[in-house]
Amino acid sequence: MKKQFALIAAGLAIISGCADKNKTDMRPAFNAEKVKVENGVLTPEILWSFGRIGNIKVSPDHKKILYTVTWPDIEKNSFNTDLFMSNIDGTDKKRIVPSFKKSWTLSLSFGIKKKATDDGENENFSISDVNWRPDGKKITFISNKPGSKQLFEMLPDGKEVVQITDIPDGIKGYKYAPNMEHLLIVRDIKLDETPAEKYSDLPKINARIEDDLMYRHWDHWHDYKYSHIYVTSYKPDKLITDATDIMEGERYDTPLQPFGGMEQITWTPDSRGIAYTCKKMTGKNYALSTNSDIYLYNIDTKITKNLTEGMPGYDKNPVFSPDGLRMAWESMPRDGYEADKNRLMIKDLETGKVIDYTANLDQDIHNPVWNLMGDALFFISNHHATEDIYRINLPGGDIHKITEGVHNYTSVIPAGGQLIATRMSMNMPAEIFAVNPIDGTAANISKVNLPILNKLTMGEVEKRWITTTDNKKMLTWVIYPPNFDPRKKYPALLYCQGGPQNSVSQFWSYRWNFQMMAANDYIVVAPNRRGLPGFGREWTEQISGDYGGQNMQDYLTAIDTLAKEPFVDEENLGAVGASYGGFSVYWLAGNHDNRFSAFISHCGVFNQDMMYTTTEEMFFVNWDLGGPYWEKPDKRYDFSPHLFVDKWDTPILVIHGGKDFRIPYTQGMAAFNAAQLRGIPSKFLFFPEENHWVLSPQNGILWQREFFAWLNKWLKEGEN
């Protein structure tokens, strides 16, 4: 269930899960000043009005920043994306709109040329993967304006838009070689036969025929295509219509499905090689393993070499030192364990020597990036439920924490004498900050959402250390309602985290938003229970095989501790959560000893037997449950929530998405049906077109309305 980058905006995706819905058009830029806020209260509609920053790129001369801001359009149930450019300190901010006002010639993929005109009025088109050309003279981006997604270039002011590629069926990503002599593009290639092709006399059949695993992934079916890298010569004045597949005939994907982006593919600094992340397995082997590797393709010899051969876990996201002599990347040591320690590895490409520079750091690292001199790297790491920027000096390997505070940094880019980073907290969506690399002081240079945030009253966020049943200290966030009055009594919500190895850190969510819960006059109790990173590997790994054990005691300890406070209404407590948090809610429903008066489970596991044989990435259930239920390893399946339904006695709201293939929606239906058959007040909120998350604006608002309607009914209105 765990994917750490699911909480973080991917570098090249405008917004996770809905990039295809984002639209950039000729409309006026969204004006955050016009968002209405009454009495400083956060509402679902306001929550879904915040701009979402992404695609941050620093110009080659380190003087300018490009970034996108995606705004939900609630009325149209879609997204609009604005492109901005500013100085490196945030000054001189300008909106950049690609200008297609002049006539332009489109060479269609089947060879017929068509004259098209565009007056720029009321024209919608998508824009994504914005970047600087290596020489800094042009801005590059992907747009679907020709009808399929193609690569374009334009001047930094948005003028002189030129189409660069016209590839059949479009492209998904691209990167220029540093010397600009070549271009790599990522596109899908169909290699497998469909049932309709196999049975050509049945042209209207709608069926799938499977004979191996991994036929679907998270929220989509395998569509007989594979994501490959193509390379071609680049000339600014020549339309690219074809390219060479460097993975010809291989039934593998790069980037990794389903969340990998262009951070998994890069050029070597000398422009002669392409390094890419790939798990070169298919079917059952793919489903059972996390063993991805980093491959290096030489564009001169056409030879591909495995740079991480013999390393059994995830190896991904290669970054080369400026001189090209070393490669750093993220690596996990064990096969089949997606929550393993994420290490910083560096390989000397001349000697082949590999060093784990985080061997003595009991933390995960993410998003490593070289400094301009090549004698240090910066990375993000979680410690005690906050994510900060660290620096590792080479060759010695001493590590220094640069930033400190109650926040999450999610990305970092060296830019001259400072760092450009994204930062969020429970009180603020992601913004761009300029960070001093010496003392960690930071300044918000994007200020996208300040016009809305300045009108809101946020609740206080408190850090508490609570003693667990086995006498350990557990960090628990307590979020209080705005204008909190300690003389009053408030209902409280126990927040159960997903993953099960995702930190309850200072994240901002558009569903599990703690300030949204606090604004509805609930005290939120969010423990970093056993299994969550940021507290050492022993703490993280304890949960595997012990789903109904110590971490459940941690939950109960947290809510029992807060329930003793005079301002908490101990007669009106609720428990809510998604994914593994949804499993936790189902388990607590049969094991809570009358503590709770309401439950909400989103996309949770109800029956672990069902989960094992209906999920898709088998390595997850194999590791955390120890193998198939028919082998009953260590009786780990005895924790399955469905075994405790006879003890259910509390109202429960069940939420699930129809396209959730990690935890199929029948899990939610089974839980709801069981509650109905038991005569327990219950409701099923089903989203046929959503997946493990709820990504569209109107569905997101509906989610919030139903969420609080349920809690208010059973925790505030005295109907329990």
Q: Among all residues, which ones are annotated catalytic?
A: 579, 660, 692
Q: What whole-number distance in Å separates Cα of residue 420 and Cα of residue 525?
A: 33
Contact 555, 588 (CB under 8 A): yes
Contact 583, 641 (CB under 8 A): yes
Q: Are strands 682-687 and 652-657 parallel, antiparallel or unpaired?
A: parallel
Q: Which residues contact 161 (CB under 8 A, 6 or more apart)?
A: 98, 99, 100, 104, 152, 153, 154
Beta bridge partners of 131: 140
Q: What whole-number distance in Å separates Cα of residue 67 and Cα of residue 467?
A: 44
End-to-end CA distance of the chain: 32
In the structure encoding, which two tokens stand for residue 267, read together?
Answer: 């050029």
Distances from the Cα of 231 to the Cαs of 181, 243, 665, in angstroms? 11, 5, 41
In the structure encoding, which two tokens stand for residue 610, read together?
Answer: 């069902």
Contact 390, 378 (CB under 8 A): yes
- Torsion of the alpha carbons at 375, 378, 383 and 388, rounded to the nearest 10: 140
Q: What whole-number distance in Å separates Cα of residue 277 and Cα of residue 314?
A: 9
List the beta strands (DSSP E) in 548-690: 568-578, 598-602, 652-657, 682-687
Q: b or e along 662-694 (b: 16 or more beta carbons within 10 Å of the residue's beta carbon)?
A: bbbbebbebbbebbeeeebbbbbbebeebbbbb
In the structure encoding, which two tokens stand for residue 365, read together?
Answer: 């690292």
The distance from CA 20 to its chain's CA centroid, rounded to whole angstroms, is 16
Q: What whole-number distance in Å separates Cα of residue 338 and Cα of residue 252?
A: 19
Q: Which of 400, 449, 401 is nearest to 424 (CA)?
A: 449
Reading across the β-sheet that carries 354-356, which strands appear in turn?
A: 315-320, 326-331, 343-348, 354-356
The three-state secondary structure class of 673 is helix
Contact 400, 384 (CB under 8 A): no
Q: Which residues contact 46 (CB under 8 A, 6 or more apart)?
A: 35, 37, 452, 456
Q: Which residues contact 4 (CB under 8 A, 6 or more apart)?
A: 364, 366, 502
